[in-house]
Structure 1
Amino acid sequence: MIRDLFLPVAAQPSVDTLVEQAQRAEELGYGRAWLPETWGRDAVTTLTAIAERTEDIGIGTSIMPIYSRSPALVGQTATTLQEVADGRFRLGLGPSGPIVIENWHGMDFERPLRRTRETVDIIKQVVSGEEVEYDGDFFDLSGFRLRCDPPDPVPPVDAAGMGPKAVELAGRFADGWHALMFTKDGLRERMDDFEHGAELGDRDRADQQVTLSLTCCVSEDGETARQLVRQHTCFYIGGMGTYYRDSLARQGHEETAHEIADHWADGDREAAMAALDDDLLDEITVAGTPEEARDRLEAFEGIDGLDAINVSTPRGADQEQIRATIDALAP
């Protein structure tokens, strides 16, 4: 089991702070430092700084939104980051959600599955170094190839997904799947979709990687850690559109998911957090004292088919709490 670090989604004091977190992860033996791209610092510039100031740890995007750049540009970016990182780069991408794509990027959030498929296809053509020829619903490309050497090795291309069709698509066309906010049983169910996709695409499952991002927080005051992950989880279920709500509902927690979302929409954050009980919290996050958190993380690592776990920290965690979590849950 690979244990990676998911660099904080919340704004950090500086790029140097993110570099230092990646350097600490490298010292502690984490396999890769993944960086999300939302509406803060862009992932490409930040990962370049991390690549230049680390030696061994892998780097990756999780996720780079497919609506904010053309597929060809993402392929160019993957080529360049692979060169800068001396072969340590892995590309994770996905549609994000309509709130971010429409209200921040000003793009229509249409047919995300089809756009993801075409984006993955085109990126793979770009990084191959061959002339790109593509006739799709969104993109019609012809006549160009990279004017520099193709990346060596070719960076793997992973796709994020939560619903059955999105996960099947990742299995069929991508080199891996990025999962987020799943219970153990929910992850096992979607794993079947991923493996079915791999069969449809005639993919060698041994060459693909399934990565689960787990919101984790460690503190000697275990209840403080639990409240931080509870707030973070409710923000995603209630404040980031319908994807996380619907995913949790599909996993057998429909009443809870809608109760959280309804309270959040009404502005009652306390009621939303109260709706997320301790048992479910422990099914989708890892939080508590160092000993409690390590035990809970190890329980997730026993899931068949799971290849890597991302240790992710909640939005409200301060630098001391982030550092304590990185240290306590190191490989």
Structure 2
Amino acid sequence: MRLSVPLQYAGDARQLIEQVVALEQAGLDAVWVAEAYGFDSPTLMGYLAARTERLLIGSAILPIYTRTPSLIAQTAAGLDAVSGGRALLGLGASGPQVIEGWHGVRYDRPLGRTREVVDLCRRIWRREVISHDGIYRLPLPDGLGKPLKMLTKPVRDSIPIYLASLGDKNVQLTAEIADGWLPTLFLPEKAADVWGSALAAGAAKRDAALPPLDVVAGGLLAIGDDVTAMREWARPMVALYVGGMGARDRNFYNDLMRRYGYEDEARTIQDLYLAGRKDEAAAAVPAEFLELSSLVGPAGHVKERVEAYRAAGVTMLNVTPVGPDPIGDVRTLREWLG
């Protein structure tokens, strides 16, 4: 099992990256850089490439609506070149609030767009002459464009592609075409009940040439006899996603909490959050949810959580160190993982 961390949104970007440099020395395997509606991900990933030596550097995620497929492929190939083959391309549809509200782009046909973007990226990296007639049309049929192939030669002709997905159709597509899966709010004990059928259906269509699906999931990390209270740090984030990251009738994270069996709690969190009562929404997040979605507590408990993630099929443990000794906790976890 490999070990990764997400680069945090808050704080000075350069200081956060310096912490990642220290974590690399402690045994970290990968770092994931989000975008949402903060700093763009590729700029920070390029800086990480310059400051690190062996870390895999992934986007988690680049929204498929905000760049053309060709630019996505160019960006990943450029990062792969400057990092010496360490790029991971994490993609996702994001949601209509961000795509339509921040970017002013219509949120439509997410499944079809995802499939076409993945296919086009792989073709571009192989330096095929690109013609495509689908949601994306290359070249445009009524203009002066002509079919082109990538001008520069990529370091690798197959950069790993990870998809962020939660719903059944998206997860099935992920298991069919992606190199890896980036779920969020992942509860290992409940994951099979929620996603097992979709993963199996996608795997049945998977190209045998693709590697086994890499599954990236985890949560807060703090190891110690007196750190259990640090699980509470996740409350505001869970409330934000479950309560406010989407409209009342179109919130993928709220749907997920309901599918986990917390239907009443999910409704309450959303009602409170949308009413502006964010602290009460955070307080309504179930303690069990926080425990199952984290690796916080005494060493024996954290070891049990690691094994729960492993049993759920997680192959890259993605943790957010929040304890008093984050580098020491990552080093300890690395030793446990082998």
TM-score, normalised relative to structure 2: 0.87
Paired positions, count: 321
Q: 1:38 aligns with which of 36, 40, 43?
A: 36
Q: Secondary structure at the match of 2:60?
A: strand
Structure 2 unaligned residues grouped into runs of 5+: 140-145
Once superposed, what is the RMSD of the aligned Cα atoms?
Answer: 2.2
Higher gyration radius (CA): 2
Which amino acid is the alignment partner of residue 135 of structure 1?
A: D
Distance 1:296-1:304 versus aligned 2 partners, 3 A rule: closer
Instruction: For 2:216, give the aligned amino acid.
Output: T
Give 3-state SS (helix, strand or coil) of 1:120's partner: helix
Percent identity over paired residues: 31
Secondary structure, aligned partner of 1:91: strand
Contact 1:159 1:176 in 2 (8 A): yes
Aligned position for 1:328: 329
Cα deviations across residues 188-233 of structure 1 (Å, max 9, x unaligned)? 2314422321221334574431111424456875354122111211
Q: Residue in 2 aligned with 1:22?
A: 20
Q: Does the alignment pair 1:177 with 2:181?
A: yes
The 8 Å contact of residues 245 and 261 in structure 1, kept in 2 or not, is answered as yes
**Are the counterparts in 1 of residues 7 and 17 from structure 2 also a CA contact under 8 Å?**
no
Q: Report which stretch shifted further, 269-278 or 74-83.
A: 269-278
Asked if structure 2 preserves the Cα contact closer than 8 Å seen for 1:25 and 1:33, the reply is: no
CA deviation vs aligned residue, 1:23-82 (integer Å, no higher than 9, x gap): 022111111011111222211111111111111111111111111111100000111110
Instruction: Sort the Cα spacing of 1:140 and 1:191 in 2 relative to 1 into closer, same or farther, 3 A.
Output: farther
SS at match of 1:144: coil
Asked whether the equivalents of residues 6 and 213 of structure 1 are also in contact (C-alpha less than 8 Å), the reply is no
Report the more deviating stretch, 154-163 or 291-300: 291-300
Aligned counterpart in structure 1 of residue 315 of structure 2, from 301, 307, 311: 307
Query: 1:269-321 deviations in whole A, cap 9, x for unaligned?
Result: 2321232221222122333x4637733541433324321111136xxxxxxx4
C-alpha change, 1:266 and 1:172, in structure 2 (3 Å) is: same
One-letter amino acid matched to 1:305:
G
AA at the equivalent of 1:269: K
Segments of 5+ residues of structure 1 without an aligned counterpart are 314-320
1:1-331 to 2 correspondence within 5 Å?
1-8=1-8, 10-14=9-13, 16-141=14-139, 143-152=147-156, 154-189=158-193, 190-203=195-208, 206-216=211-221, 222=227, 224-241=229-246, 242-287=251-296, 289=297, 291=299, 294-295=302-303, 297-312=305-320, 321=322, 324-330=325-331, 331=334
Distance between the aligned counterparts of 1:2 and 1:192, measured in 2?
25
SS at match of 1:143: coil
Distance 2:196 2:44 in 1: 31
Provide the rounded CA distance (Å) in 1 between the counterparts of 2:138 and 2:298: 52
TM-score, normalisation: structure 1? 0.89
- 1:118 alignment partner AA: E
The 3 A distance-change label for structure 1 pair 84 and 311 is: same
- Look up the equivalent residue of 1:310 and give its one-letter code: N
Moved more, 66-75 or 20-29: 20-29
Cα contact 1:198–1:204 (8 A) shared by 2: no
Could you tell me how far apart the structure 1 residues matched to 2:80 and 2:45 are?
11
Determine helix, strand or coil for the equivalent of 1:38. Answer: coil
CA apart distance, 1:19: 2.0
The structure whose residues are more often strand, as a share, is 1
1:157–1:176 Cα contact (<8 Å) kept: yes
Which string of whole-angstrom CA distances, capped at 9 and with x for unpartnered residues, describes residues 118-153 of structure 1? 111111111111112221124444611100113325
Report deviation, 1:266.
1.2
Residue 248 of structure 1 aligns to a residue in which SS? helix
